[in-house]
Amino acid sequence: MVCTMITMDTPIPIAAAVVNQAPPLPEPREANVPALVAALYDEAPVGLRQRLLNHLLRPVGPLALAAVATGAFASLLPHERWSGAYAQLDDVLRIRPDQVLDLTRYVQQKSPEMLMRLPEIIASSPVALGTLSGVLLLTALRARQRERKPARG
């Protein structure tokens, strides 16, 4: 048995020592939403990835497409007049979770209401609800939605 010594004669298991020193778990509303979105993107099948990505791309303009994630989304710029970015399946296969993390951080700053609409996508997907990251993300976003709603009196 591996033990750590607090005093010379009182051994306690390392697991107990770690639990006693572990910080408390954060509240769901304090969760790192961009990291959870990137984790869900990493776990999701291609179709759900495409839906998540296209949702996140809605508020992103052409300059941001070229700048976010060191230009990873620049290939989504249309050759004709700008009307918005849309990711095809081959784009989804090329874009990595760390790039989605950068994109989500940008969207969180520019248009946080877009993140607050993600529960609709997550809740409509049994695959997303079957992943830990999907459930954690849904929980965090719903906690934030409850926090933003004014109390009815």
Which tokens is 113 given? Answer: 């209401």
User: How do residues 80-111 score in pLDDT, each as one tens digit?
Assistant: 887 889 999 999 999 999 999 999 999 999 99
Count the neighbouring beta carbons within 10 Å of the beta carbon of residue 79.
Answer: 4
- Name residues whose C-beta falls within 8 Å of residue 94's C-beta, 6 or more positions apart in sequence: 75
Cα 46 to Cα 15, 51, 64, 82, distances in angstroms:
39, 9, 24, 26
Domain ranges for the chain, please list them. 28-148
Q: Please report the pLDDT score of residue 80 as a whole number.
A: 84
Give the chain's length: 153
d(C-alpha 78, C-alpha 75), whole Å: 8
Give the pTM: 0.75
CA–CA separation, 79 vs 82, rounded Å?
8
DSSP reduced 3-state for 61: coil
Q: For 121-146, how does the pLDDT look when each residue is reduced to its tens digit (9 = 90+)?
A: 998 888 888 889 999 999 999 988 88
Q: What is the pLDDT of residues 52-75, one digit of tens each?
A: 999 999 999 999 999 999 999 999
